[in-house]
Amino acid sequence: MYEEKEGLEVTAEDLYKQKDKMYVATDCIIFGFDSGSLKLLLFRRRVSPLEGNWSLIGSFVKLNEDVGTAAKRVLEEITGLKDVYMEELKVYGAADRDPGFRCISIAQYALIRLNEYDRELVKEFGAEWFDVNELPELVLDHEQMVRDALDKLKQKARLQPLGFELLPEKFTIPQLQNVYEVIFQKELDPRNFRKKVLSHNVIVKLEEKDKSSSKRGAFLYQFDKDRYQKLIQKGNDFEVW
Amino acid sequence: MYEEKEGLEVTAEDLYKQKDKMYVATDCIIFGFDSGSLKLLLFRRRVSPLEGNWSLIGSFVKLNEDVGTAAKRVLEEITGLKDVYMEELKVYGAADRDPGFRCISIAQYALIRLNEYDRELVKEFGAEWFDVNELPELVLDHEQMVRDALDKLKQKARLQPLGFELLPEKFTIPQLQNVYEVIFQKELDPRNFRKKVLSHNVIVKLEEKDKSSSKRGAFLYQFDKDRYQKLIQKGNDFEVW
DNA sequence: TCAAAAGTGTTGTGGCTACACCCATGC
DNA sequence: GCATGGGTGTAGCCACAACACTTTTGA
């Protein structure tokens, strides 16, 4: 593998010099939840080729920057949000994925609370929220990234309480159920859903009601991160639903 | 994010020129299974700094090479094996992870059938198999990579039939159980294990017996990839054990 | 008073866990 | 004939799916 001569010390420096460098980018698949459907944040590409086409938000990783930091930077620039749930999706590393320049991309996906974000900023960047079921055509391999992200989201959401990341701090159980119905693309039974969610003992009922979607109103709940942490530390192998 | 001037067309070429390039490497976490324990393939680093220390097998990704291909190339050079189960683990992209040079690493893990591989090649490369419970100290962030790979292996093995990748084509049920006991780090009940494995209908009993580990001998089985494919295509959400 | 969403219990089933003994064979 | 690992069946329990009606309240 390394073809150095026997007996001579080969330093990392010698070795690295013969090697190829390339661009490293990160693309962000940013999910939000609004009025009953899962949304994806897209923007119009500002550079040619493919200028004006819809694409994911991306950026190049700088030399002195962690890969994860790069993605958080992009997300904050565009939405103004910090401390967002964000996770690595996958590396897109095909040699020919970007025409002209060798560039690998580390896709990361984020879940954000739509009500918290600064809509102005998003507009400034030529960005727009799309229903995940009505996406436009995307540049390069971004469509594949979105498909992969949706799959991973489904998978993860079964074992980790991701639903809360997409809702405001206070939410109703029907709202939460709605989030999961959208993620899993199927209807859930309200009785079973409520039972299961409450059984884990990680959401707390408040006194207030939300009357925005019914006359009777639904009680608000809050996620209790501490209780959740304790649960999983106990090794509770926690299937959310 | 992109700081081009309004109104002017900015090409990808213009844009890319201002950006940083870096080294992209891949490190392989290579698992094998032998005499009742899970093994990891390590080799002695041949370049300074840290020359002579144990490390994972890695390589730089070439400009005209897919990231996945790079890992497969390394694996084949060292073990002589092709068509091995291999999957992306995670990106290690901290700015300071490699002293001196900015280099991100895409870790990938592989499962190989120890009996098939060419032991000579492994020796040539200064490589050695270690029991995963008795690993030496490793360079850089390689210990973290191994921990992460073990976690992922555990997780994946629950939902996908990975155990077969570590065994020869023909294997006995006690052997298979042993693989899973080693991966999950706990003992399994032989009656329940057998029942579950057979219930999926993806392994086929042969007439032959293996007598290498008991006088009575145990029947050999074979994994039936077609049946497995059909099962998961039917949406059978398949928890292996 | 009625429409619309919130909230509540029970029952059957299937899958998991736990558990103990006989079988085949080589020495 | 005995030691060693291979192979089998059952019973209790729990988690899940399926399913229908009452409550609240604004209009």
Residue B238, pLDDT score: 66
In this complex, do B63 and A22 lie within 8 Å of one another by their Cβ atoms? yes
* Chain D bases having any atom below 7 Å from a protein CB: 3-10, 16-20, 23-26
Which among A17, A44, A23 has a CA at the least distance from the CA of A100? Answer: A23
Cβ–Cβ gap B13/A100 under 8 Å: yes
Nearest to B95 among A66, A106, A125 (CB): A66
Are the C-beta atoms of B127 and B133 separated by less than 8 Å? no
**CA B102 to CA B95: how far, in whole Å?**
6
| Predicted local distance difference test score (pLDDT) of residue B47 | 76
What confidence score (pLDDT) does residue B153 get?
Answer: 97
Question: Between B88, B93, B103, which is nearest A66 by CB?
Answer: B93
Q: CB neighbours (10 Å) of residue A158?
A: 16
Q: What is the DSSP track for B45-71? A: --SBSSTTSEE-EEEEPPTTS-HHHHH
Best to test chain A binding among B14, B66, B92 (most A CBs inside 10 Å)? B66
Domains of chain A: 18-157 (3.90.79.10), 162-233 (1.10.10.10)
Type of residue found at A168: P
Asked if the Cβ of residue B239 lies within 7 A of any atom of strand C, the reply is yes
Contact A79, A112 (CB under 8 A): yes
Is-contact A43 A139, C-beta < 8 A?
Answer: no
Closest CA relative to residue B122, chosen from B32, B25, B49: B32
Residue that is written with structure tokens 């991306």 in the block = A58
**0.85 exceeded by the pTM?**
yes
Shortest distance between the Cα of A106 and any Cα of chain B, in A, equals 8
Rg (CA), chain B: 22
Asked whether residue B213, judged by its CB, lies under 7 Å from any atom of the DNA or RNA strand D, the reply is yes
> What pLDDT, on a 0 to 100 scale, did the predictor assign at position A6?
44
What is the tens place of the pLDDT at every residue in A126-164?
899 999 999 999 988 999 999 999 999 999 999 899 999
Length of chain A: 241
Chain C positions with any atom < 7 A from a protein CB: 3-10, 16-20, 23-26
Residues A81-137 have pLDDT tens digits of 889 999 999 999 999 998 878 999 999 999 999 865 567 778 888 899 999 999 999
Q: What's the mean per-residue pLDDT of chain A?
A: 89
Phi-psi region of B185 (alpha: psi -120 to 50; beta: other; left: phi over 0): left
Report the C-alpha gap between A66 and B110 in whole angstroms: 26
- Percent of chain A beyond pLDDT 70? 89
The separation, in Å, between residue A111 CA and nucleotide D23 C1' comes to: 35
In chain A, the residue whose alpha carbon lies closest to the alpha carbon of B102 is A63
In this predicted model, what pLDDT tens digit does every residue of A199-226 receive, in sequence order? 999 999 999 999 999 999 999 999 999 9
Residue of chain B with shortest Cα separation from A7: B46
pLDDT at residue A116, as a whole number = 58
Whether residues A66 and B20 touch (CB distance < 8 A) is answered with no
CB contact under 8 A, A91 and B91: yes
Number of alpha carbons in the 13 Å side-chain half-sphere of residue A141: 21
CA distance A145 to A61: 18
Token pair of A181 as six digits? 């119905």
Write a three-state SS string for chain A.
Answer: CCCCCCCCCCEHHHHHHCCCEEEEEEEEEEEEEECCEEEEEEEECCCECCCCCEECEEEECCCCCCHHHHHHHHHHHHHCCCCCEEEEEEEECCCCCCCCCCEEEEEEEEEECHHHCCHHHHHHCCEEEEECCCCCCECCCHHHHHHHHHHHHHHHHHHCCCHHHHCCCEEEHHHHHHHHHHHHCCCCCHHHHHHHHHHCCCEEEEEEEECCCCCCCEEEEEECHHHHHHHHHCCCCCCCC
Q: Whole-number mean pLDDT of chain B? A: 89
pLDDT at B11: 63
Residues of B in contact with A14 (CB under 8 A): 47
| pLDDT tens per residue, range B185-200 | 999 999 999 999 999 9
Q: Which of A12, A88, A101 sits opposite B100 (nearest CB)?
A: A12
Alpha-carbon gap: A234 to the closest alpha carbon of chain B (Å): 17
Distance separating alpha carbons of residues A234 and A226, to the nearest angstrom:
12
Name the residues in B156-195 having a C-beta closer than 7 Å to nucleic acid strand D.
172-174, 190-192, 194-195
Residue A67 to residue B2, Cβ atoms within 8 A: no
Cβ contact B53:B139 at 8 Å: yes
> Closest approach of chain B CAs to the CA of A17, in angstroms?
10
Instruction: Output the distance from B123 CA to D20 C1' rounded to whole Å.
Output: 71
Which chain B residues contact residue A28 at CB under 8 A? none
For A40-53, what is each residue's pLDDT tens digit? 999 998 877 788 89
Measure CA to C1' and name the residue nearest D4.
Answer: B214
Confidence of residue B156 (pLDDT cuts 50, 70, 90): very high
pLDDT per position as a tens digit, B72-101:
999 998 888 889 999 999 999 999 998 878
